[in-house]
Structure 1
Amino acid sequence: MTNPDRLQPGDPFPAFSLPDGAGQTHALSDYAGKYVVLYAYPKDDTPGCTREACDFRDSARLKEMGVQVLGISQDDADSHQKFAEKYSLPFPLLTDDGQFLASVGAYGEKNSYGKVTQGVKRATFILDPEGKLVKSWLAVKVDGHAEAVADTIQKDMQDRA
């Protein structure tokens, strides 16, 4: 059964305006005309989150296609800045208090090793050049994910050609 509150492919993605690690504000409208990968992750500089960030960083296919990658978590600007510098991340890491993340289904109750907590859920959203949702993953497994994202964008580009 489909959750009526969940964004569906083709739906306009909710507008956002959020600061990055350097204090610069990024809005969805800043990226009009480009594909955007917005990925939500739980915590800077943790093993899974580092692998995911580095996989997006290292994806030659995403670079070749001109895709804008944006990471988003609840970590503060200082934490984002250190994380980005430590791993030479070439894309912005946005800070959210959880409100925007909750609005797109990337924040809430999660179960980690039997412990139920509230927090950022690992999720990825691909937005087309018009700011509409192409695809979302609301439960991401890190290994191979950046390639799956690149495959999806490449297919969407071909379908539009």
Structure 2
Amino acid sequence: MNFASSDSHTNEDDPYVIEEEKKEIFFGYVLQLCHVIKWLGEYINSNPNIELNKTKIKIIPLPTNNTTITGTGKQEAVKSVEEKVAEIPSIDSLIGTECNIMYNRDGKLVCGPYCKLESKYSSMLGKKVILKNIIQNDGKDKIELPYIVTEIEIVQ
């Protein structure tokens, strides 16, 4: 059964063909995707405040090699991941620590997982530094980066 015309999803002239025994699963995925799109559209229409919606985002890190996700260990692994998300170190515990200056996955200049850096430090990308002064982040990204580093010392 042909499901696409040529050049609609690929640059090949041959149409994409779903094997007969797999067509039900294909249509099942299509209907699930339609349901998610419909739900998201309805959610956005009834909750149009973008900034409020952003505060509801939770980043859940993947389990490390120390956690297992098998049998009853699955619940324990999820619990330890949730606890890890809730733990944000204090400013005092971060001052004096070393970290590398880099861009995070959102393209923001950071030093470690909790500290945003001002763009004036972008020329030091990749350098190892010691955090000397840190303040609270009151910006839009305070959930993902609760602190801003205002003073650093380059490690020689």
Would you say same fold, with TM above 0.5?
no
Q: Which has the larger radius of gyration?
A: 2
TM-score (norm 2): 0.20
The structure where strand makes up a greater share of residues is 1
Of structures 1 and 2, the one scoring higher in RCO (CA 8 A, sep 6+) is 1
TM-score (norm 1): 0.19
The structure where helix makes up a greater share of residues is 2
